Structure 1
Amino acid sequence: MVKKLKFSSCGHLRSDLVKDLNFGKMKHCHTWVFHSFNGVLVIGPLLLLFLVAIGSGYFYNAYSFPEPIVHENENRTSNLSGKCNFFDGNWMPDESYPLYNASECPFAEQGFSCLANGREDKEYLKWRWKPRNCEIPRFDVHEILEKLRGKRVVFVGDSLSRTQWESMICILMTGVEDKKSVYEVKGRKITRQIRHLQVRFSSFNFTVEFYRSIFLVQPGAPPKRSPKRIKKALMLDKMDDISKEWIQSDILIFNTGHWWTPMKLFELGWYFQIDGKMKLGMTINGAFKQALATWKSWVEKKVNTDRTRVFFRTFEATHWSDESRDTCNVTRLPWSETNGKDENLFSDMIIDTLRNVSNPVTLLHVTPMGAYRSDAHVGTWSDNPLVPDCSHYCLPGVPDMWNELLFTFLFSDQQYQIY
């Protein structure tokens, strides 16, 4: 089970120590008298040294740490200020990773299984995200399975959402004894184009689903008599028509961003539409902001957040070597610096939207943590090695950490506050 992070204060620890040693008000110190002179000679110096040591420690604790202290143990770190930014930290080597073997998980599609596709180095599998002032709790997969019993988990977004969906299934399958009890409901093989995939954990009566909705808003045919260059209209003021299928879920995770580029929009004949009218002069950034506003209105009006826990993941860092996205240099180790990859305008707009949404939505701000992971991309180790890939991540890999964060927010009392 994901353990709850416990918060306390240095003052509490100090007061407990004082109480135990009867130093609370120091008013009884004068009663420490020995009736034997010899006892005083023998014990007195020892007692004096003890009192000096304790007193020094007390005043050192009392006056030397104006900032909150962090106390660590094997499984967690409590930030004594009561706050934790899980998304500010570094990647640390950890031999307990990866969390699963992709070759034993039928839901890790071939295109993301880098080892199976010929990658020889394995260092990229051995990293754990470590926040600066706290710890991501280790989880017990069997207890997570029990907590998901009877639930419906839904991922909505593009292929990066699909990798997180696959990752979650593979993680959870490590705790299932009968692997055949986990299956895609309609027997479908995972492909890039299927709009809905539903994997059922029959022993625990829950499903983990993926809906392919790359823009979240509704694509459609352009109005009549539109310019010939317009092949598709992206209706920024309407949610995707399959959104009605997402509403009755218990856990709902969104992402979008990687298709909002000139190459995947304008060069393919996609343009923006609002209120039935094409907006040919609208920028991609402006359209993205409008789509997020439509999503925000939908969440506020349609989703019962008393039942459904809603998450939104920010833009996932990419590491292309040039703007043409023709060259992908996958490193052997993570970068030591973010090199500016920790900032992204789409992520900023997502954060601004979530800051103003009236319903509770949890932010998964993965942009900074992904910025370091130039080593973790698919590269040429995909099912099509002729097409380099510095957008998607290998499985196992970075998406597993997204799910560990998701479990932390779901099954502990942690909330990520947006400032």
Structure 2
Amino acid sequence: MADGKNQAAPINGGTLLSDLKSLFSLFRTKGTVNFAYGFMSAFILFTVFLAFNASPNPTASPWFSSIFTSSSTSITGSTTNISSSTAPPVPSNTSSSLRSQISNIFSHPLPNSTSTQSATNVTRSENTTLQEPNLRKEPTNAKKHTQTSNLHDKVEAFNPNQTTEAPKALVAAANKTENSASKIVPESGKNVTAKGDKRIAEKGSNLTSSLVKKRGNETSNSDVKQGIEELVKGLVNCDVFDGNWVRDDSYPLYKPGSCALIDEQFNCFLNGRPDKGYQHLKWKPKDCTLPRLNGGHLLELLRGKRLAFVGDSLNRNMWESLVCILRNSVKDQSKVYEASGRHHFRSEASYSFVFKDYNCTIEFFVSPFLVQEWEVREKNGSKKETLRLDMIERSSANYKNADIIIFNTGHWWTHDKTSKGKDYYQEGSHVYGELDVQEAFRKALTTWGRWVDAHINSSRTLVFFRGYSASHFSGGQWNSGGQCDHETEPIRNKTYLSEYPPKMRVLDKVLKGMKTRVSYLNITRLTDYRKDGHPSIYRKQHYTEEERKSPLTFQDCSHWCLPGVPDAWNELLYAELLIKQYQNRRQPKIP
């Protein structure tokens, strides 16, 4: 047929379809299939090997950097970046060693991304596993961890190789005074220059040696003790009574009006004194720095002990100051109370404030002369008041076993009866018709000194004597119209200070002749500066009709407003106690 002649001739004598089937049958042979599968398996394994055994230079395979990448993250504190992603699924048939390596790499979650750069570099530790970053960005609603006050540690958390400006929060905190340790929270996304690092770290070193370091809002006792010891070393050979008053707005040590224990006579704030500058002055010795009185630390020093003030109303001034300072440092103030339940402190012979949580007491014994007030019967049968210069006062048996005793006397020796010395001073049965007040004062202090040597165990009791506190009556004495209500600034020029009181020179000689070591709190000069610190007309809220007619007649220019000058006396007492503790620790132990 003509149509059959025009068809193409079959290959190998067969049809075209049969020939194609024969050709493709070559690929179905067993050997060929095994070869293809083997080639594909080798390719997959080689790819995985490259993925998880990258060369030390990751940039040699740039294509791999985007396999698991979802976003890039900068890790603060390192010099390179790392991509932030979740771990890819690990096939079930992967070898155990490969599964372990994948698990190690993604075992630590990474912080949220704060960088816009693509991540191409990875920093590895020696065992090739990534370390958890030491700084994380917390959610704003997360509970904040307690912040350390060590500014140097905070600075080290920043990358020293980055070059943007230092956070303002860090710089401001580093410029604060040593008494104002602060929490530092770095601002997100800001870094520190190398120059800024050095400057802030230096200031941070000063902050870390400050007296009180804080953890959040609480004081660390161990840090307080360490900081205090550094200050105490500088106090040992320093005359803490030679200095001047400086403005310090972190004072007073307790908020005005916050202590209900202050007697009305000393509570100038509640009595309406309008100026407040007298509250913000701190005593600063010339050659050292007084540690700020830390009430909690002082209570620890006094745990299980008795501290007794013995003397006149100026010692009551100091006693009330200390009670208020310590009470304000106690969390539960209901556990601070006067042992007999008293709330006024001018009518009884003795008082004792109990600090229950510390098992300690702060006591006051009224004894304006330290020797015994007496009376004798005259020939006509009447009684006459005298002062027994040869007898210690009656309450001495109640405080002789206290752990710390602070004595004082002085102001009552300026009153008419004592200063004139006529028919008043007595020794034995003899009443002097007239005796110079300086000699009488010497006899009284000698009696006191002998009693201390004979009755106080100096191995367990510390004895202090607080010196004379200066008065500032102008235009008359306390009972003749003397005034000080116009004084709002301390004396600045030494030439206006009074001479060292002759009675305190007598005290110096008596102390030198005693066997018992008595620490002399010589506050005479530092009080002489403070003509601004007295209650003056602000000694009470309500005046009698007679007082309203002539209020200037009744000014108080002897005692001191609280908060005020007596707080500094207690800071000096605190410093002396710290010095003694420091010296006792350094004494060699006797085998």
Structure 1 length-normalised TM: 0.77
Alignment of 1:54-203 (within 5 A): 83-203=237-357
The answer to whether the 8 A contact 1:342-1:369 is kept is: no
C-alpha spacing 1:167/1:81, structure 2 compared with 1 (3 Å): closer
Which of residues 432, 446, 450 is equivalent to 1:297?
A: 450
Mean Cα deviation higher: 95-104 or 118-127: 95-104
- Give 3-state SS (helix, strand or coil) of 1:183's partner: strand
Contact 1:251 1:310 in 2 (8 A): yes
CA contact (8 A) 1:234 1:273 kept: yes
Which stretches in structure 2 are left out of the alignment for 5+ residues? 1-208, 212-229, 544-550, 584-591
CA distance in 1, matches of 2:210, 2:561: 28
Pairing 1:309-388 to 2, within 5 Å after superposition: 309-325=462-478, 326-330=481-485, 331-338=487-494, 339-341=496-498, 343-383=500-540, 386=551, 387-388=554-555
Amino acid at match of 1:329: C
How far the C-alpha of 1:396 sits from its partner, in A, is 0.5
Does residue 1:214 correspond to 2:363, yes or no? Answer: no
Q: What's the % identity of the aligned pairs?
A: 38
The partner residue of 2:437 within 284, 298, 316 is 284
Residues 170-218 of structure 1 show CA distances to partners (whole Å, capped at 9, x for unaligned) of 0001210111111111111223231011110111111101000111101
Shift of 1:231: 2.6
Q: Do the aligned partners of residues 152 and 80 (structure 1) sit closer, same or farther apart at CA in structure 2, a change above 3 Å counting?
A: closer
**Which one-letter code corresponds to 2:271 in the other structure?**
N
Q: CA deviation at 1:266?
A: 6.8
Change (3 A) 1:88 1:81: closer
How far off is 1:93 after superposition? Answer: 0.4
In 1: Cα distance, 2:262 partner to 2:235 partner: 40
Cα distance change of structure 1 residues 269 and 282 upon mapping to structure 2, 3 Å threshold: closer
Q: Quote the Cα distance in structure 2 between the aligned partners of 1:79 and 1:147.
A: 18
Q: How far apart, in 1, do the equivalents of 2:234 and 2:561 lie? A: 36
Q: Compute the RMSD of aligned alpha carbons.
A: 2.4
Secondary structure of the residue aligned to 2:411 is coil
Secondary structure of the residue that 2:345 maps to in structure 1? Answer: coil
Deviation, 1:262, is: 4.0
1:63-106 CA-to-partner distances (Å, cap 9, x unmatched) read xxxxxxxxxx8657689796211111100000110001242212
* 172 and 226 in structure 1: CA distance in 2 versus 1, 3 angstrom threshold: farther
Deviation at 1:268, TM superposition (A): 11
| Cα distance in 1, alignment partners of residues 419 and 520 from structure 2 | 30
Mapped partners of 1:80, 1:153: distance in 2: 26
Count of paired positions: 342
Higher-Rg structure is 2
Q: Which has the higher contact order (CA 8 A, sep 6+)?
A: 1
TM-score (norm 2): 0.55
Distance 2:313 2:501 in 1: 19
Q: Is the 8 A contact 2:291 2:575 kept in 1?
A: yes
Aligned partners of 2:288 and 2:231: how far apart in 1? 5
Q: Displacement of 1:139 after TM fit?
A: 3.6
Determine if contact 1:160/1:392 at 8 Å carries over to the other structure.
yes
Quick one: distance in 2 between partners of 1:278 and 1:381? Answer: 40
Distance 1:361 1:80 in 2: 22
CA contact (8 A) 1:342 1:370 kept: no
> Unaligned 5+ residue runs, structure 1?
1-72
Q: Is the 8 A contact 2:421 2:435 kept in 1?
A: no
Partner of 2:427: 274
Return the offset for 1:223. 4.5
Deviation at 1:347, TM superposition (A): 1.7
Q: Conserved in 2, the CA contact under 8 Å of 1:124 and 1:332?
A: yes
Residue type of the partner of 1:184? E
Q: Give me the whole-angstrom Cα distance separating, in 2, the residues matched to 1:269 and 1:177.
A: 53
Checking the alignment, whether the CA contact within 8 Å between 1:251 and 1:308 is kept in structure 2 is: yes
